[in-house]
Amino acid sequence: MSELRQIQVIRYVTPLREGGSLPAIVEGDDGFLYVLKFRGAGQGAKALNAELIGGELARTAGLKVPEIVFAELDPQYGKSEPDEEIQDLLKASAGLNLGLHFLSGSITYDPVAYTIDPVLASKIVWLDAFLMNVDRTARNTNMLVWHNELWLIDHGAALYFHHSWDNWKEQSEKPFIQIKDHVLLPFASMISEADMFMRSKINEEIIAGIVSQVPGNWLNDNEAPGVYADFLINRLKHADIFVKEINNARQAHL
């Protein structure tokens, strides 16, 4: 597992008006374009924590994810922005944010137009049940096709237990019934094989290493990055629970 690179944002290109978080395309000092997720957006740093952890776990399992970087935003950026809403967002996000490499020319995944391998579909369904990711539905797939390969984006809605830390252990052992709405569930016919593969790729050491990269100032005083690791490690130990729920949802769907 490699450490995330850090870039400096040198140019704000354009907003991506999706939902309430107003991500934007920006240029980094390395010459590349990134989709910037702002720490000052509605869900705050929690969405960035989920993005970092979810994206890097997906990458560890060999799934395609745009490079994730830490992106430093100069406090001066907000002063010259004419749009008041964006100006406020930039001011509130001065400092460290999260960027994903912009996949220029990519298109949104369409289950009708793009044939997906059942093993790949099963791995993604397993991962999203593990992460409790509620945001990979037919309405909002959060997947892109780029150079004829499927890429995962936007894990900001995953790990929603962190909105209430007190019962993290109980949450980690829940089945995740929302998997019934997953856009890839109809194609995920190799869950047993995916379960074996994903458990071989994700372990306690990998989880701890990824979680350790969450910046301390992205956590509130009463939170600790170790809770993310504890949650995921315990959830991995009880993977049979959410795997059973995946199979139940598939049976109901069929």
Check residue 5 and give its pLDDT. Answer: 97
Residue 230 CB burial class (10 angstroms; 0-12, 13-18, ≥19): middle
8 - beta bridge partners?
Answer: 72
Closest by CA to 207, choosing from 233, 227, 225, is: 233
Average pLDDT rounded to a whole number, residues 170-180: 96
Evaluate the CA torsion angle 124, 156, 214, 151 in order and state its sign.
positive
Put residue 108 in one of left, alpha, beta given phi > 0 → left and psi -120 to 50 → alpha.
Answer: beta
Q: Sign (positive/negative) of CA torsion 15, 19, 35, 144?
A: negative
* pLDDT, position 219: 85
pLDDT, tens only, 94-128: 899 999 999 999 999 999 999 999 999 999 999 99
Q: What is the pLDDT of residue 81?
A: 67
Q: Compute the average pLDDT of residues 176-205.
A: 97
Read off the pLDDT of each residue in 70-75 and give the average, rounded to a whole number: 92
| CB 23, CB 13: distance < 8 Å | no
Helix 204-211 to helix 225-237 angle, to the nearest 10 degrees? 160
pTM, full prediction: 0.94
Query: Could you give the CA distance from residue 34 to residue 102 in angstroms, rounded to a whole number?
Result: 5
Handedness of CA 234, 240, 246, 248 (dihedral sign): negative
**Higher pLDDT pick, 120 / 216:** 120
Tokens representing 80 are 């010259």
Residue 234, pLDDT score:
97
The per-residue pLDDT of the chain, averaged, comes to 92
Question: To which H or E segment does residue 234 belong?
Answer: helix 225-237
pLDDT at residue 138 greater than cutoff 70? yes
pLDDT at 220: 74
Beta-bridge mates of residue 150? 145
pLDDT per residue as tens digits for the range 9-32: 999 888 886 655 679 999 999 999
